[in-house]
Amino acid sequence: MRQVLRLLALALCLSLLATITTAQAAVASRAPVEIALWHDWTGEGGDGVVAVVDAFNKSQSNIVVKATVTPDLGTKLLASVAGRVPPDVVLFDRYMTGQYASRDALTPLDTYIARDKMDPGAFFEACWNETVYRGKVYSIPFETNSRVLMYNKRLFKEAGLDPSKPPETWDDLVRYSHALTKRDEKGRLVQVGFVPIWNGVSLVHYLWQCGGDAFNADATRVTFNGPEGVEALEWVVSLVNYYGYDNLVSLAAGFGSHLSDPFYTGKVAMKSEGCWMLSDMRRYAPNLVANDLGVAPLPRGKVRATIAGGFSLVIPKGAAHSDAAWEFIKFAVSKDAQILFARKAGTIPALKAAALDPQVAGDPLLKPFIDAMEHARYRPVHPAFPEVESYIYQAVDKAVHGEMSPEAALEWAAGRAQKVLDRYNRHLRR
Amino acid sequence: MVGRVGIPRQSASRRTRRMRAILVKTLVYLVLLVGSSALLTPFLWMVSTSLKGYDQVVASKFTWIPKPVVWSNYTRALEFIPFWRYLGNTVLVTSMCLIGALSASAVVAYGFAKLRAPGRTALFGVLLASMMLPGQVTMIPVFVLFQRLGWYNNLKALIIPAFLGGGAFNIFLLRQFYMTIPNELCDAAKIDGCSNLGILVRIVAPLSKPALTAVGVFIFVANWTDFFSPLIYLSDQEKYTLALGLRLFQSLHSTEYSLLMAASIVFSLPILVVFFLAQRYFIEGVTLTGMKG
Amino acid sequence: MTREIDCTSPGKADSGRRGLSRNAVREARDFYLCILPWLVGFSGLTLGPMLVSFYYSLCEYNILQPPTWVGLANYVSIFTDDPLFWTALYNTAYYTFFSVPLGVAGSLALALLLNQAVRGVRVFRTIFYMPSIMPAVASSILWIWLFNPQYGLVNRALSLVGIKGPLWLADPVWSKPALILMGLWGVGGGTVIFLAGLQGVPRHLYEAAVVDGATTWQQFLHVTLPMLSPTVFFSFVMGIIGSFQVFTQSYVMTQGGPLNSTLFYVLYLYRVAFEFFQMGYASALAWILFVILVTFTGLQLRLSRRWVYYEGDLRR
């Protein structure tokens, strides 16, 4: 009897203890979860991130997002993943999705997407596809950008060109460029038309416009050295040679040109540019924007094509609060948040409904960028691509410097790149 | 010292000597003036840019004197980031590192320069070798280690390593200077019953004031401008240092150049002030004149 | 050349060589006490990561996932199938070969100049030190301007004497010389070390030299240089270690181009590690560099016994 009593007393104590701890846990769960968001946006874009985060924090009381601006985000993220202290959610370059996903460093989001019935079709196709690696979705597109042709209407008029008729094709582009080029009495360039190797335009861009691609469909062979690639590089080299590489260098490296674009000062009449430049341009060259800026789709080679870049939201593997992070992601790609960000940052929402909303598309300067999304392409979602692309850059370098013919340069690069691709594919299969 | 016995130089006429001295001095001034104006140009360019409005920053014709002078760039720059907070963090980290690294390297270098022990040569080789592996490949393991030690997102990660040795570069540099101090001085003190610590504090350190000052300047600059360690170890924006904050002026797609230059100048000024004040010790530190020979 | 000075410093028999007397034991104990902070820091914070990186060099390691053992595969493909490795090694050796001697000579010359007793020398010293702390953004903009083929100051000066200057940073032949020239701009840091070293040269040696009728050049050669030799040695050793790891200039200004002519070793390693996520391969690259530097520094240490003069170094 005594023993039974003792046991009962013990059980009572234990259950009391359990009740207390569960009660405490309940209290703890009622306090909001704080989750960490890392991003590297400053300036207007940074204001946009802050606005979205504030709106989310105000919209509910369970989760508090704490945003941290991190310069050199890539390195820091790598270290934090290796040290198993990743943040809960990261706004990172969508281009990196394949790099991280193939290394199993991101949380696949398909379960969340299915549970909350997120519609992939609501996003621009190129953006969504860039988040998919081997059939799984690893990031949610947050914003995007495309490239268009920007041109200076005043310089068009001076050269006797009709500013309402921007170049339509590569041939037009060359013709216009010739007309817009001015040299001084010593033969030095004082003004150029379109320079295909400036503004970070990769050869892949021209390759797409020729109807080619970097890899074959299942990413087992590099294909950038095919006839399309050779045609694209030959075109690039011939236009560069028209100006003279030496002359271009001098024009690009003028004092102060690092601070601004020679496009602002009328030394360059046409360039391929993304919408991220608009806020800078409004700040540094308000007169150009107000009076002389023309925006048109990129001239086509065989087809029209533009690159769709931009940022995505990801949940690193091992994040402490992935459910809360997903809640934030869902909010950040809702129509209102997308419009809020786009209006602050001046970029294109990844959500089509937000991009087409008059509050965003009503901006006449941004509209052509949104329209260009129709022809948007994206870089292969494959971990080998950055290394492969480095060889493409080297091929362009060799051809432009006349060290090799375009065809030979691409052949050389493809040889190296194929090895790289094979190495990755071998390793991925393991 | 070498040869030249024979005609005593004293007989050279005093006038020629004076003339030569004046000539040399003029030449020195000329070189100094030309050189320093060349080196000042970029700094003046930074100052000029920091005071320009947007339109002047991108103007195709460069002007030195901004018109109008936009003083407000400086106030805007200091508001663009939590300047005073970051300054406080930077001062804290830099001063702690200065104390730690300077004292540690001064002591460690003494060991390598003045004390015999089995294994010294090998350990000195290891010290040098520790600088030969690019930090890019040790960064990840160091990060993981610091994280396990609980230093992640903590100023400890920036400060504690300074106390542990003070940097191979500084140790090596101080060792080179200590080596030039005659051993008789140390031995004499030892005979007087002075401990090694006493010798370091009373003899070696005072005689190495110029070198210690130089090392102090290096430590100060290295920590004041260090971008990388704060970047990877701090994840709380409130803990950022100025070097990290300075990067926030360069955004992905656009840069506020005037503000960046204004902030860079404010950032660099303390270094110049410290250098200006410290350099008297490069010159007026105790010299060994008359102590040997 | 240092024989005369050697004679002035009294020789002392190395008593500590024989066995371990009580004094020697105490001295050894004090040595280890002195270097203890470094020993703790090195073995606790540096050695581990170094060994780990060596292990990585024998692995396929992408940072995000645990490493997998591949043995010597990384080393084999570096030596047999990586033209960029050889390019980067050549570029770096070229850079080191010119920039280290020029840098040491430049900072020594500048230190001699700034050691003159002239009015305002403190201000001059500060100005000459400034470039070495200039933020990279500012200095890169400046140098891109200076090296502009048509409008830049460098080529304009050359054209005054009838030389048509090259494209500098955009010319695969001239890009390395351009970066070497640019590196000399920051000799202020080395100058500080030499200035400190100059303070330790006893004045009476110069007085004796003057009495002996030595010219200024002879004084420099036979007094200043030998007395500064420990500092010169330091500058060479650190110069080689530093310039083999040169990174920032090409990373900021040329990104390795044109035609990979400024692809320096650590820039290549950085790309492999952080752009291509091949940390194992990068670690192998790093350990090859490590072996190169250990060899070089070992050689320097050996040679130094012939030319570096330590007033206090009679104990080994």
* Model confidence pLDDT, tens digit, residues A60-86: 999 999 999 998 899 999 999 999 999
Token pair 């020398």 in the structure block, residue: C121
**Using CA atoms, how far apart are residues B220 and B214, in angstroms rounded to an integer?**
10
* Model confidence pLDDT, tens digit, residues A213-232: 999 999 999 999 999 999 99
**C251 Cα to chain A: minimum distance (Å):** 14
* Model confidence pLDDT, tens digit, residues C25-84: 989 999 999 999 999 999 999 999 999 999 999 999 999 999 999 999 999 999 999 999
Q: Does A100 touch chain C (CB under 8 A)?
A: yes
Residue A181's pLDDT band (cuts 50, 70, 90): very high
Tell which of C68, C77, C150 to mutate to test the A interface (max A CBs under 10 Å): C150
Residue A10's pLDDT band (cuts 50, 70, 90): low
**A387 Cα to chain C: minimum distance (Å):** 6
Mean of per-residue pLDDT scores for chain B: 86
Domain locations in chain C as residue ranges: 3-16+74-307
Task: Please tell me the predicted confidence (pLDDT) of residue A254.
Answer: 56
**Using CA atoms, how far apart are residues B26 and B204, in angstroms rounded to an integer?**
38
- Residues in B closer than 8 angstroms to C4, CB to CB, are 1-2
- Residues in A closer than 8 angstroms to B249, CB to CB, are 42
pLDDT at A249 over 50: yes
Whether domain A33-145+308-377 has CATH 3.60.15.10: no
In chain B, whose CA is at the least distance from the CA of C41? B164
Q: How many CB pairs under 8 A join B and C?
A: 304
In chain A, whose CA is at the least distance from the CA of B246? A71
pLDDT at B7 over 90: no
**Phi and psi for C36 in degrees, rounded to 5?**
-55, -50
Q: Does C48 touch chain B (CB under 8 A)?
A: yes
Could you tell me if C130 and B272 are in contact, meaning their C-beta atoms sit under 8 angstroms apart? yes
Token pair 């416009």 in the structure block, residue: A209
Closest residue by Cα to residue B154 from B83, B238, B220: B238
The topology under which CATH files domain A148-306+384-429 is D-Maltodextrin-Binding Protein; domain 2 (3.40.190)
Q: Could you say which of B45, B137, B180 has the minimum Cβ distance to residue C273?
A: B137
**C282 Cα to chain A: minimum distance (Å):** 14
Could you tell me if A425 and A219 are in contact, meaning their C-beta atoms sit under 8 angstroms apart? yes
Task: Please tell me the predicted confidence (pLDDT) of residue A255.
Answer: 46
pLDDT at B80 over 80: yes
pLDDT at A330 over 90: yes
Strands A33-39 vs A89-93: parallel, antiparallel or unpaired: parallel
Q: Does A47 touch chain B (CB under 8 A)?
A: no
Classify domain C3-16+74-307 by CATH architecture: Orthogonal Bundle (1.10)
Burial (Cβ within 10 Å: 0-12, 13-18, ≥19) of residue C292:
middle
- Residues in B closer than 8 angstroms to C199, CB to CB, are 210, 282-283, 285, 287
**B292 Cα to chain A: minimum distance (Å):** 54
Burial (Cβ within 10 Å: 0-12, 13-18, ≥19) of residue B141:
buried
Quick check: bond before A297 cis, omega within 30?
no
Q: Which chains lie within 8 Å of chain B at 3 or more CB pairs, if any?
A: A, C
**A378 Cα to chain C: minimum distance (Å):** 19
pLDDT at A278 over 90: no
**C171 Cα to chain B: minimum distance (Å):** 24
B20-26 CB contacts, 8 Å cutoff, 24+ apart? B25/C116, B25/C118
Q: Do B39 and C8 touch (CB under 8 A)?
A: no
Residue A246's pLDDT band (cuts 50, 70, 90): confident
In chain B, whose CA is at the least distance from the CA of C288? B133
Could you tell me if A267 and A192 are in contact, meaning their C-beta atoms sit under 8 angstroms apart? yes
Closest residue by Cα to residue A244 from C177, C149, C156, C169: C149
Q: Do A284 and B55 touch (CB under 8 A)?
A: yes
pLDDT at B19 over 80: yes
Which value, to the nearest 10 degrees, does the dihedral of the CA atoms of residues B87, B92, B96, B102 take? 20
Task: Please tell me the predicted confidence (pLDDT) of residue B5.
Answer: 39
Quick check: bond before B68 cis, omega within 30?
yes
Q: Do C277 and A394 touch (CB under 8 A)?
A: no
- Residues in C closer than 8 angstroms to B283, CB to CB, are 115, 195, 199
Tokens of A26: 């309940």
Token pair 């020679």 in the structure block, residue: A262
Give this complex's ipTM: 0.89
Q: Do C145 and A246 touch (CB under 8 A)?
A: no
Rg (CA), chain A: 26
Residue B12's pLDDT band (cuts 50, 70, 90): low
Task: Please tell me the predicted confidence (pLDDT) of residue C293.
Answer: 97
Most confident of A259-263, A316-320, B61-65: A316-320
Interface of B with C in 146-185 (CB under 8 A): 161, 163-166, 168-169, 171-173, 176-184
DSSP H or E segment with residue B261: helix B257-278
**B279 Cα to chain C: minimum distance (Å):** 7
Domain locations in chain A as residue ranges: 33-145+308-377, 148-306+384-429
pLDDT at C90 over 90: yes
- Residues in C closer than 8 angstroms to A392, CB to CB, are none
**Residue C278 Cα distances to A318, A420, B274, C168, C283, angstroms:** 22, 12, 42, 32, 9
Could you tell me if B162 and B105 are in contact, meaning their C-beta atoms sit under 8 angstroms apart? no
- Residues in A closer than 8 angstroms to B44, CB to CB, are none
Helices (H), chain C: 3-8, 22-34, 36-41, 47-57, 73-80, 83-114, 121-129, 136-146, 153-160, 175-184, 188-198, 203-211, 216-219, 225-244, 248-249, 265-270, 279-307
Interface of B with A in 257-286 (CB under 8 A): 257
